[in-house]
């Protein structure tokens, strides 16, 4: 550590007790003493080093069990006392927020720092006061939802802070990378759209079978073939590609995708009569999340469930953009280093690695590659049985709920008892995963189950620890390689806590999706086995190519997220302007004068009938409601635009440029129409006898959910990916060939390209 001098100074001040000053060292020294006094914990040098890094706005890599929770307290108290700023400590789930708040509260109380916690169940009436606390624990998504809720308030001042100061993200890679692109949505029962016709469409689409559609395996998108188009047009009696038929075509493709592509227990589960999505990174059930567009209703129709109506979207924001609202952000995770470039490029945050207090005693084995999934499964079961025979605890990280249940069924046949963790709530899961280090325990979970919870050798019984250590400690098994190597690293890190012994093994098969999708067979050439092979494959050349495939997948995913950020920046710019104006109406810092300036005659009539003060108050409220309507229209338009913007390539135009121009023109034109729309509202008011008789259009209720739409614009429209690499021709060929073509010869690029308009054009100017 480069800051040993600073750490020693903090410890010296703490031991002397002379730490009443306001310097950063004095504040940290007081936290040091408070932790000792209230928790009986003496902070390690490594924890102080991590806290210093957090206070500087760094992304901190710190291994499981090293005490990240206490590190955040140092940084938060430093901000509260030293800078007078508020800190949000944002966690992965409600369980961790509540646990960490209750655990660390005595330290804050000793420091005289106010602290609070918000979970999904915290009443709205209590949140205004909680947001004033100097330190607040909550999930990142609940913070984002409260930000969106402030946009639909009418009769109260926004309780969400006008400006966000400092955020510390716990399990930062999960929140800021894995879930960064998931839009948080707030919807309201205003102009609700009925999806009831999806059930009828689904029934008709059942007749569109083999040969009627193609599936792009990489994007998992569905395209109608010529035969499918002819049959669909005969079924519905219209030209499905004609202007005005876009909605029907989208629903037809959604129904086919629900039937042919999305799989129960892999992409979603059915629970209590509802469709619950499975997170693609964690393999965990994700309540409150829905498929985009018509896909959610199509899956419900597939299972003959009640078609849900989610109301009209009134606001949305991806976690990536929400995080960037903070003046300063930092984070903690056990696997920051593999994503350091992304943290720096997207969030402007440098990464700092904190060494473990004790040397890592865990043995990590490289991936073992098998010919196919059957051979791989045999090896996994053999590894579990060998450990179970020794009563060695085993934690198996599976790829999906379906796989975890399948492994459990195989173990049952072998007479091996196991705990299966999937679709449990966070509180139950955390308790079970904490016992995964017990003697003889076999725990089958999805990769991320119980993240943030320490696994102690011997479980709750310290007397059993010596035995577990004697048989090698916790054995962790990863059943498949994932798109991101971080997922495997996170799983490996469940063993070897605080210098404990442990071991991790990882398994792969040549027919795993990551290898099929990235053509390992073509890359490996003659090293790829031509016939079934039993046991682990030892060809080092094949192993190297398999490792290269993972790097390729990671780089591709990273670049896609960067491009997606650029692609949606214009919408975020518009959202920021609109949200700020509406908030200023509610908090009283701005008053509308549309009626006075643009409808003066009507306003004079209104003044003769109603009081000026009441009229102004109503004008502000009417404009707030109109801004909600304005923004909902904007979101509807941009959603529709994204569905078809790729087709502009057929006319020889650049879809990215067209999207930019269309968004800016729509926003400007819609904004220009507000004075006229406000005048229409005033005419309606004049027809009322009393101002209290007029009620702006406001939602009767609002509700929030997450949209499972990570990268959909690019995944289902490969032409757009080409737009950003200036490879328009090959991207268009790929789209026309269902995403399978190698691409057509590129057009000869002219030296001149048309000038690009506006903010978006600056982002996507010609590459040098």
SS3 letters across 170-205: ECHHHHHHHCCCCEEEEEECCCCCCCCHHHHHHHHH
The confidence score (pLDDT) of residue 561 equals: 74
First and final C-alpha spacing in the chain: 41
pTM of this prediction exceeds 0.75: yes
The confidence score (pLDDT) of residue 659 equals: 76
Is the pLDDT reported for residue 390 higher than 70?
yes
The confidence score (pLDDT) of residue 218 equals: 63
Are 705 and 187 contacting, i.e. CB atoms less than 8 angstroms apart?
Answer: yes
Are 564 and 181 contacting, i.e. CB atoms less than 8 angstroms apart?
Answer: yes
Instruction: Identify the three-state secondary structure at position 93.
Output: coil
Tens digits of residue pLDDT in 278-331 = 876 566 677 777 887 788 889 999 999 988 766 678 999 989 899 999 999 999
Q: Nearest-5° angle of CA 295, CA 300, CA 305?
A: 165
Tens digits of residue pLDDT in 39-78 = 999 999 999 999 999 999 999 999 888 899 999 999 999 9
Cα 457 from Cα 466, distance rounded (Å)? 8
> What would the two tokens of residue 89 be?
């400590």
Structure letter (DSSP) for residue 61: E
Domains assigned to the chain: 4-183+320-353 (3.40.50.300), 197-308 (3.90.1440.10), 361-538 (3.40.50.300), 566-763 (no CATH)
Percent of the chain surpassing pLDDT 90? 49
Tens digits of residue pLDDT in 236-245 = 988 887 877 7
Cα 183 from Cα 197, distance rounded (Å)? 26
Tens digits of residue pLDDT in 620-647 = 999 999 999 999 999 988 877 776 665 5
Tens digits of residue pLDDT in 164-220 = 999 999 999 989 988 888 888 888 865 444 455 888 999 999 999 889 998 877 667
Taking all residues of the chain, what is their mean pLDDT, rounded to a whole number? 84
Tens digits of residue pLDDT in 590-619 = 999 999 999 999 999 999 999 999 999 999
Tens digits of residue pLDDT in 257-284 = 999 999 888 888 898 888 988 876 566 6
Cα 393 from Cα 387, distance rounded (Å)? 7
Tens digits of residue pLDDT in 552-585 = 888 877 777 776 676 677 888 899 999 999 999 9
Residue that wins the pLDDT comparison between 656 and 30: 30
The confidence score (pLDDT) of residue 280 equals: 66
């Amino acid at each position: 550590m480069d800051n040993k001098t600073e750490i020693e100074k903090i410890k010296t001040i703490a031991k002397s007790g002379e730490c009443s000053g306001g310097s950063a060292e004095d504040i940290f020294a007081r936290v040091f003493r408070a932790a000792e006094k209230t928790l009986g914990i003496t902070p390690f040098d490594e924890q102080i080093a991590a806290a210093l890094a957090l206070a500087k706005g760094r992304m901190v890599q710190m291994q499981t069990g090293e005490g990240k929770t206490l590190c955040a307290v140092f940084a938060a108290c430093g901000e509260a006392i030293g800078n007078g700023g508020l800190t949000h400590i944002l966690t992965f789930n409600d369980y961790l927020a509540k646990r960490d708040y209750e655990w660390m509260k005595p330290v804050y109380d000793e420091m005289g720092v106010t602290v609070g916690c918000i979970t999904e169940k915290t009443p709205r009436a209590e949140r205004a006061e909680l947001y004033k606390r100097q330190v607040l624990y909550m999930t990142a998504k609940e913070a984002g939802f409260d930000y969106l809720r402030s946009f639909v308030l009418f009769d109260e001042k926004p309780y969400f802070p006008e400006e966000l100061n400092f955020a510390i993200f716990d399990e930062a890679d999960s929140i800021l990378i894995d879930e960064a692109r998931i839009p948080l949505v707030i919807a309201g029962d205003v102009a609700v759209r009925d999806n009831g016709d999806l059930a009828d469409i689904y029934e008709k689409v059942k007749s569109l079978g083999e040969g009627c559609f193609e599936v792009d395996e990489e994007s998992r998108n569905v395209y109608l073939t010529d035969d499918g188009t002819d049959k669909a047009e005969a079924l519905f009696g219209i030209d499905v590609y004609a202007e005005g038929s876009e909605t029907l075509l989208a629903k037809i493709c959604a129904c086919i995708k629900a039937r042919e592509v999305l799989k129960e227990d892999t992409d979603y589960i059915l629970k209590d009569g509802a469709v619950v999505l499975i997170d693609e990174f964690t393999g965990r059930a994700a309540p409150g999340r829905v498929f985009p567009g018509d896909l959610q209703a199509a899956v419900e129709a597939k299972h003959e469930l009640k078609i849900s109506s989610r109301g009209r979207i009134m606001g949305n924001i991806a976690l990536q953009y929400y995080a960037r609202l903070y003046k300063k952000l930092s984070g903690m995770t056990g696997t920051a280093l593999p994503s350091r470039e992304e943290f720096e490029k997207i969030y402007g945050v440098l990464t700092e690695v904190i060494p473990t207090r004790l040397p890592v005693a865990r043995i990590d084995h490289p991936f073992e590659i098998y010919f196919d999934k059957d051979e791989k499964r045999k090896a996994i079961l053999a590894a579990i049985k060998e450990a179970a025979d020794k009563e060695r605890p085993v934690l198996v990280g599976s790829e999906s709920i379906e796989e975890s249940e399948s492994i459990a069924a195989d173990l049952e046949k072998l007479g091996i008892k196991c705990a299966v963790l999937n679709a449990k709530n966070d509180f139950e899961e955390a308790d079970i995963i904490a016992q995964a280090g017990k003697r003889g325990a076999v725990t089958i979970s999805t990769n991320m189950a119980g993240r943030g919870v320490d696994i102690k050798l011997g479980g709750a019984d310290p007397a059993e620890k010596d035995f577990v250590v004697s048989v090698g400690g916790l054995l962790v098994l990863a059943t498949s390689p994932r798109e991101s190597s971080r997922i495997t690293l996170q799983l490996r890190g469940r063993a070897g806590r605080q210098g404990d012994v442990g071991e991790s093994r990882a398994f792969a098969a040549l027919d795993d999706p990551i290898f099929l999708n990235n053509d390992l067979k073509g890359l490996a050439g003659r090293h790829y086995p031509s016939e079934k092979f039993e046991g682990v494959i030892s060809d080092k050349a094949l192993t190297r190519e398999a490792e290269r495939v993972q790097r390729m997948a990671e780089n591709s995913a990273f670049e896609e997220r960067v491009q997606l950020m650029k692609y949606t920046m214009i919408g975020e710019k518009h959202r920021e302007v609109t949200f700020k104006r509406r908030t200023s109406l509610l908090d009283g810092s701005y008053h509308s004068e549309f009626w006075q300036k643009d409808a003066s005659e009507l306003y004079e009539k209104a003044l003769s009938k109603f009081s000026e003060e009441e009229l102004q108050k109503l004008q502000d409220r009417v404009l707030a409601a109109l801004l909600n309507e304005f923004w909902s229209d904007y979101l509807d338009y941009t959603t529709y635009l994204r569905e078809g913007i790729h087709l502009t390539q057929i006319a020889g135009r650049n879809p990215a440029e067209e999207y930019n121009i269309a968004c800016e023109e729509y926003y400007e034109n819609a904004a220009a129409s507000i004075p006229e729309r406000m005048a229409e509202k005033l005419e309606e008011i004049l027809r009322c006898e009393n101002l209290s008789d007029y009620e702006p259009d406001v939602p009767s209720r609002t509700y929030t959910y997450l949209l499972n739409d990570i990268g959909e614009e690019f995944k289902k429209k490969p032409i757009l990916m080409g737009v950003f690499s200036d490879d328009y021709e090959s991207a268009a060929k790929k789209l026309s060939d269902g995403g399978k073509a190698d691409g057509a010869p590129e057009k000869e690029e002219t030296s001149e390209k048309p000038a690009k308009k506006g903010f978006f054009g600056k982002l996507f100017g010609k590459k040098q």
